[in-house]
Amino acid sequence: MNNGAALFLGLLFAMACSWFAFVGAPQWQFGQEIPYTDEATGKVFPVDRGGAAKRGHDVYRQNGCFECHTQQVRQQSYRFSLVVDEWGTNVQQTLREFPEVSLVVSNEEVALPPVPYLLFDDLTLREAKDYQRRRTESGTQLRRVNHPVGPDIARWGARRTVGLDYLLDRPVMLGDRRFGPDLSNIGNRQPDPRLLLLQLYQPRLRNEDSVMPSYPFLFESLEATEENEAEALRHQGEFVKDGRGRLIAPKPEAHDLAAYLLSLRLDEPVFEAPGLGIEASDPESEATEEQSD
């Protein structure tokens, strides 16, 4: 090797470039993020997990849930609706400005519909702003409401995930494959810990074709006595039993994991992902919920 120095410097340069692109630049972009406090309400975001949920984070990690489940929701675009908070005082003028509104007749009296009134749905930002600008003479107040949209959001999230969501996670378990549904909003979509525990004990109880592994070692079997029944898992009103007819009760780890899953929520809008915080409904999981209650 007669150009050792050049080779070394070249390699160093190549490594330095990728280091700057993949480590340096993100650090520069996100390194200063700190939890923020909403001045009006005094709320802090994100909230540090405590107790059971913190231990559950480790159980999640130990069992490799991130191999099949992601915790990242993307947003494709956004839509707006316009809500009327207050009608103008001059009904004639208001009606001229809003031909879309139909009057409400009650007790022989004709009136504008009660507020808040959803005037337009599914607008682009430009359309929404145009309406807001145009319709002001009657004094009617239009408020713009955001709807994040995208396939991920329709299925799993109320909003997209942003860097702030992971700020207090050690380690961050984004996951890179979606064999199962995204879990970043599971605490909001599936707020019943009993169903989560059932899912962990035997996923096929809730979904016959589930390919999720079962985690029976997070549970213990108990004598079928009355005092044990309080803790025991139930499915469709009946106790879940193992081969020997004994009851199944979650171990502390399972409770911790469930607490962790419940702490995964995206219903709080953040600056980076302004949203409604509306519950996104997942038709599939709703169907299974009904079954198993």
Q: What residues line the site for ligand HEC (CB under 6 A)?
A: 60, 63-65, 67-69, 179-181, 186, 189-190, 196, 199-200, 203, 207, 210-213, 215, 257, 261, 282, 285
Contact between 143 and another protein per CB under 8 A: yes
> What end-to-end distance do the CA atoms of the chain give, in Å?
72
Residues between 25 and 44 with contacts to another protein, criterion CB under 8 A: 25, 29-30, 32-33
227 contacts: CB under 8 Å, gap ≥ 6: none
Contact between 23 and another protein per CB under 8 A: no
- The SS3 assignment for 261 reads helix
Helix (H) or strand (E) holding 147: strand 141-149
Contact 215, 256 (CB under 8 A): no
- Token duo for residue 216: 């029976």
Cβ-based nearer residue to ligand HEC, 254 or 273: 254
Contact between 194 and another protein per CB under 8 A: no
Work out what residue 201 binds among ligand HEC, another protein, none; the CB cut-off runs from 5 to 8 Å by kind: none
Determine which residue in the list 274, 286, 291, 293 makes contact with another protein, applying CB under 8 A. 274
Cα distances (Å, whole numbers) of residue 3 to 6, 8, 9, 12, 13: 5, 9, 10, 14, 15
Cβ-based nearer residue to another protein, 14 or 125: 125
Cβ-based nearer residue to another protein, 16 or 211: 16
Work out what residue 163 binds among ligand HEC, another protein, none; the CB cut-off runs from 5 to 8 Å by kind: another protein
* Residue 224 to residue 192: CA distance in whole angstroms: 24
Cβ-based nearer residue to ligand HEC, 98 or 201: 201
Q: Which stretch binds another protein (CB under 8 A): 53-61, 62-70, 103-111, 268-276?
A: 268-276
Contact between 163 and another protein per CB under 8 A: yes
* 151 cis-preceded (ω within 30 degrees of 0): no
Shortest gap between Cβ of 268 and another protein (angstroms)?
A: 12
Give helix then strand counts, H and E, for the chain: 11, 11
Contact between 273 and another protein per CB under 8 A: yes
- The SS3 assignment for 239 reads strand
Cβ-based nearer residue to ligand HEC, 152 or 282: 282
Strand pairing category for 219-222 and 104-106: unpaired
258 contacts: CB under 8 Å, gap ≥ 6: 56, 193, 196, 197, 200, 250
Contact between 77 and another protein per CB under 8 A: yes
The pair phi, psi for residue 36, each rounded to 5°, is -110, 155
Shortest gap between Cβ of 274 and another protein (angstroms)?
A: 5
Contact between 160 and another protein per CB under 8 A: yes
In the complex, the residues that contact another protein under the rule CB under 8 A are 25, 29-30, 32-33, 74-78, 80, 85, 125, 143-146, 160, 162-163, 269, 271-276
